[in-house]
């Protein structure tokens, strides 16, 4: 068989198992097992075939078996494992995927031996560090450190590439992860190794170890990484985990754990927030950074450090004039938005650090999951043994995930000493300010747990988006919605009203309207929705998703409870208007205006609806009314000018377009409309000149101008501009200037 044929049969077998088509699944798996030719797998397949045959026979005979569902689930689970084992066995010798490369490298290496060698290497490192205090032999320490780290990597590779996990290996891993025989960072790596293996092939024993690690470990880093990995595994393998009695039993026991609910909710929220990472990345890269780079050169020069030429924005405080300019330019607002996103947990630094994942450090798979610690060889070698205080500062930087902390230290290693010292001082100053703020607060263990989760989810996101061989793993971070509310083993926790409300608001804020609708509709039947406001939220989400009929349905349901809610009435009107029901829209807008008579927007909108109905005179009176209201700020001038044109009151139309030119900033559309008025007055040359100004504001886009001009063809014809003239005018405007 070719690799493509093996992959096809493996997929077909997996699909049959998922669809409970067991007979067909056995046939497909049989072809793989026979091709592999391993007796133990053939025996296991025969056992499953016999068990399934007897099940069918008992069913045919009408024998009642209360355990039938459980037995069938066990057969399907065993078939899945057998399917994967056969597939792996057939690809082991030749596949270039990193999973199989590591299996070939570690063939014959036992987990227990690697653990023992690693612990021995740690002892030797500790002895070298003790003796170096007298001999200052940094070379010996680095040598021992590299040896220990190589064994860490070997241990990681052995765990993630093992399938299926034997009971002996499972026992060893439980001891290593939940006990204290290994350093915390190594335990965290083992958690990630289990997870990475699960992103290749599902192995229930690995998932159970992750759940036990959460329950039994006393280290928050290990606990929360394990729970995050377990939740993502249950999401990636929904069908297999939702039918597992072992998983359900383990989760049921965890429900009584004090932090379990809050930890699950925090992971849910951060996974949901990670969906918006690409938008945050674009916003930082395309909005914030370019606007800072547009700062006046003289200010940029004054902000630069003389030696390093690096900008220090904290120096802005030294000159109020600079701060005033930044306020006026909008940069201050953007920086405030950046800080707000950072505080709420958005991944604001991925745009900065994405290009710093090309260091050799990130060629090693396990390093993507490594918790940052100052004693790692990559940190020591890049910063120098005498700069460990800087490493400690980086370690406590609150908004950088582990992966970015390593990127930061690796990039510092390439900088001149002057720049490195300045950046160190800035980072230390920021950390000191944050620590001072923290000291004024009461200790908050829950906030610390949320911080750990946020950092780890960001580490995972970087791996699944930036690792060079990421396509060899299940792309769980691309799962639509990363929706844990659909993860059946966890629904008792994930569908809590509080978290659904939070997720719904988060999805809505980031324009994931379908997901917001799902969260809000699940809230609909809950007790906290009794005041009816949930109907408004669902309606608002449907409206923003462009589904006006559904939105109207929910707004009307809310109206039954609160008939005089002006906000709701306005949105009902907007839905009717979008559905083309202008009579109903006008009725509701007028109801809203009666409740809020000083609202300029409402008055203007009623004018727009009247104009939609070709009731131009009535619309004009509405616009005049709006123009006299407080806060109008010339908002009625454009519709007044347009209505005046439609009513052939050209002088008034020109008057208002001139007001716009004097007191406001005319747009390309304003100049186009003014040109129409001049054309209808017979002032053709002035009209063409005005049209050319409009074209200029369109950036010289003649196609856009012609499209806009043709859009008003009916109105121009009604005012006496012939079809021939309408065909000639755009050429006169867009063509070459012909001199007499």
476-502 pLDDT per residue, tens = 988 766 788 888 888 889 888 889 989
Stretch among 39-48, 337-346, 364-373 having the lowest mean pLDDT: 337-346
**Angle between the 616-627 and 600-612 helix axes, to the nearest 10 degrees?**
170
For 199, the 3-state DSSP assignment is coil
For residue 313, pLDDT beyond 50: no
Distance from C-alpha of 82 to C-alpha of 13, rounded to nearest angstrom: 10
DSSP bridge pairs for 304: 311
How high is the mean pLDDT of the chain?
Answer: 87
Stated as kind and residue range, the H or E segment containing 139 is helix 138-160
pLDDT digits (tens, 9 = 90+) for 85-132: 999 999 998 899 999 999 999 998 999 999 999 999 999 999 888 875
pLDDT confidence of residue 293: 59
Q: Is the pLDDT of residue 303 over 60?
A: no
What is residue 483's predicted lDDT score, i.e. its pLDDT? 83
Task: Return the closest-CA partner of residue 31 out of 10, 53, 4.
Answer: 10
Q: For residue 480, with 0-12 CB atoms within 10 Å meaning exposed, 13-18 middle and 19 or more buried, which class applies?
A: exposed
User: Among residues 708, 715, 697, which one has the least CA distance to residue 730?
Assistant: 708
Beta strands (DSSP E) in 56-197 are: none
pLDDT band at 308 (very low <50, low <70, confident <90, very high): very low
Which pLDDT score, from 0 to 100, does residue 314 have?
47
311 DSSP 8-state letter: B
Q: Which of 561, 556, 601 is nearest to 579 (CA)?
A: 556
Q: Which is nearest to 245 in space by CA: 204, 215, 203, 305?
A: 204
d(CA 193, CA 449): 21
- Helices 582-595 and 600-612: crossing angle, nearest 10°? 160
Q: Are 568 and 559 in contact (CB under 8 A)?
A: yes
* Domain ranges for the chain: 3-95, 109-261, 277-345, 496-596
**Per-residue model confidence as pLDDT tens digits over 18-72:** 999 999 999 999 999 999 999 999 999 999 999 999 999 998 888 888 888 889 9
Please report the pLDDT score of residue 312 as a whole number: 47
How far from 154 is each of 103, 148, 167, 331, 371, CA to CA, in Å? 11, 10, 20, 48, 17
- Mean pLDDT, range 697-705, rounded to an integer: 93
For 446, the token pair is 């829950």
Say how far apart CA 651 and CA 182 lie, in whole Å. Answer: 87
Which pair of tokens denotes residue 385? Answer: 């043994």
The mean pLDDT of 391-410, rounded to a whole number, is 87
pLDDT at 427: 66
pLDDT band with cut points at 50, 70 and 90 for residue 555: very high
**Residue 184 to residue 173: CA distance in whole angstroms:** 14
d(C-alpha 159, C-alpha 169), whole Å = 9
- Under 8 Å CB-to-CB from 443, ≥6 apart: which residues? none
Helix/strand/coil percent split, the chain, to 5: 75, 0, 25
Reply yes or no on whether the pLDDT at 277 is more than 50.
yes
Cis peptide before 147 (omega within 30 of 0): no
The pLDDT of residue 309: 44
Q: How far apart are CA 237 and CA 233, in angstroms?
A: 6
Tokens 């290593």 found at:
176
Please state which of the ranges 17-31, 326-340, 384-398 shows the lowest mean pLDDT: 326-340
- pLDDT-based confidence at residue 440 (cuts at 50, 70, 90): low
- Per-residue pLDDT at 139: 81
d(CA 475, CA 236): 9
Q: What percent of the chain has pLDDT over 70?
A: 85
Residue 297 pLDDT greater than 60, yes or no? no
Write out pLDDT tens, residues 142-164.
Answer: 899 999 999 999 999 999 999 99
Predicted pLDDT at 426: 67
Confidence of residue 296 (pLDDT cuts 50, 70, 90): very low
Question: What's the residue count for the chain?
Answer: 740
CATH of span 496-596: 1.25.40.10
Beta bridge partners of 444: none
Assigned token pair, 188:
């965290």
Per-residue pLDDT, averaged over 337-357, amounts to 77
Query: Counting runs of H as helices and runs of E as strands, what totals does the chain give?
Result: 41, 0
- Over the stretch 249-272, which tens digit does the pLDDT of each residue have? 999 999 888 899 999 999 999 999
**3-class secondary-structure state, position 304:** strand
Mean pLDDT, rounded, for 4-10 = 95
Asked if residues 600 and 629 have their Cβ atoms less than 8 Å apart, the reply is yes
The pLDDT tens digits of the residues spanning 707-731 come to: 999 999 999 999 999 999 999 999 9
CA dist 595 and 723 (Å) reads 47
């Amino acid at each position: 068989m070719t690799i493509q044929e093996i992959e096809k049969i493996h997929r077909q077998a997996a699909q049959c198992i998922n669809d409970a088509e067991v007979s067909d699944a056995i046939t497909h798996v049989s072809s793989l097992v026979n091709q592999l030719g391993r007796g133990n797998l053939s025996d296991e397949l025969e056992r499953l075939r016999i068990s399934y045959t007897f099940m069918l026979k008992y069913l045919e005979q009408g024998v009642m078996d209360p355990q039938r569902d459980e037995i069938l689930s066990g057969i399907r689970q065993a078939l899945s494992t057998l399917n994967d084992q056969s597939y792996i066995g057939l690809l082991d010798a030749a596949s270039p995927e990193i999973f199989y490369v590591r299996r070939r490298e570690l063939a014959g290496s036992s987990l227990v031996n690697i653990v023992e060698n690693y612990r021995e290497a740690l002892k030797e490192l500790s002895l070298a560090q003790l003796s170096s205090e007298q001999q200052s032999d940094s070379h010996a320490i680095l040598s021992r450190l590299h040896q220990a780290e190589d064994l860490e990597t070997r241990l990681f590779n052995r765990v993630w590439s093992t399938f299926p996990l034997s009971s002996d290996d499972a026992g060893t891993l439980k001891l290593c992860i939940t006990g204290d025989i290994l350093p915390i960072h190594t335990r965290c790596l083992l958690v990630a190794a289990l997870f990475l293996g699960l992103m290749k092939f599902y192995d229930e024993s690995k998932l159970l170890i992750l759940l036990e690690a959460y329950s039994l470990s006393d280290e928050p880093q290990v606990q929360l990484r394990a729970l995050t990995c377990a939740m993502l595994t249950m999401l990636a393998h929904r069908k297999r985990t939702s039918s597992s009695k072992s998983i359900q039993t383990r989760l049921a026991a965890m429900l009584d754990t004090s932090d379990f609910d809050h930890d699950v909710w925090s992971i849910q929220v951060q996974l949901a927030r990670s969906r918006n990472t690409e938008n945050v990345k674009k916003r930082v890269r395309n909005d914030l950074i370019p606007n800072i780079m547009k700062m006046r050169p003289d200010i940029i020069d004054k902000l630069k450090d003389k030696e390093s030429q690096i900008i220090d924005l904290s120096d802005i405080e030294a000159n109020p004039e600079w701060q005033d300019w930044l306020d006026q330019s909008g940069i201050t607002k953007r920086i405030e938005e950046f800080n707000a996103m950072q505080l709420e947990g958005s991944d604001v630094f991925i745009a900065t650090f994405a290009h710093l994942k090309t260091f050799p450090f990130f060629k090693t798979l396990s390093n993507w999951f490594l918790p940052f610690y100052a004693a790692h060889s990559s940190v020591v070698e890049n910063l120098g043994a005498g700069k460990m205080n800087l490493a400690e500062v980086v370690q406590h930087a609150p908004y950088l995930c582990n992966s970015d902390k390593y990127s930061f230290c690796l990039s510092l290693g390439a900088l001149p000493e002057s720049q490195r010292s300045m950046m160190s001082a800035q980072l230390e100053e920021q950390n000191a300010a944050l620590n001072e703020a923290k000291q004024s607060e009461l200790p908050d263990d829950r906030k610390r747990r949320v911080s750990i989760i946020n950092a780890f989810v960001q580490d995972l996101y970087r791996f699944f988006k930036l690792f060079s061989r990421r396509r060899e793993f299940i792309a769980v971070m691309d799962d639509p919605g990363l929706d844990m509310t659909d993860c059946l083993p966890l629904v008792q926790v994930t569908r809590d009203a509080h978290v659904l409300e939070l997720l719904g608001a988060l999805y809505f804020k980031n324009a994931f309207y379908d997901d917001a609708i799902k969260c809000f509709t699940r809230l609909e039947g809950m007790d906290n929705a009794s005041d009816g406001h949930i109907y408004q939220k669902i309606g608002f989400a449907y409206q923003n998703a462009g589904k006006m009929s559904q939105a109207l349905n929910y707004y009307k349901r809310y109206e039954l409870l609160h008939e005089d809610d002006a906000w709701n009435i306005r949105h009902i009107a907007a839905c009717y208007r979008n559905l083309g029901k202008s009579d109903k829209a006008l009725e509701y807008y007028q109801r809203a205006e009666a409740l809020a008579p000083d609202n300029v927007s409402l008055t203007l909108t009623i004018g727009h609806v009247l104009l939609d109905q070709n009731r131009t005179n009535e619309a004009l009176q509405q616009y005049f009314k709006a123009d006299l209201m407080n806060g109008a700020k010339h908002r009625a001038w454009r519709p007044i000018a347009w209505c005046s044109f439609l009513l052939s009151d050209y002088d008034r139309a020109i008057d208002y377009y001139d007001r716009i030119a004097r007191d406001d900033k005319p747009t390309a559309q304003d100049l186009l409309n003014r040109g129409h008025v001049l054309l209808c007055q017979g002032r053709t040359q002035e009209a063409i000149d005005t049209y050319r100004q409009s074209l200029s504001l369109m950036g010289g886009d003649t196609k856009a101008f012609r499209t806009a001009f043709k859009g008003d063809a009916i109105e121009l014809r009604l005012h006496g501009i012939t079809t021939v003239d309408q065909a000639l005018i755009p050429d006169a405007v867009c063509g070459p200037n012909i001199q007499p």
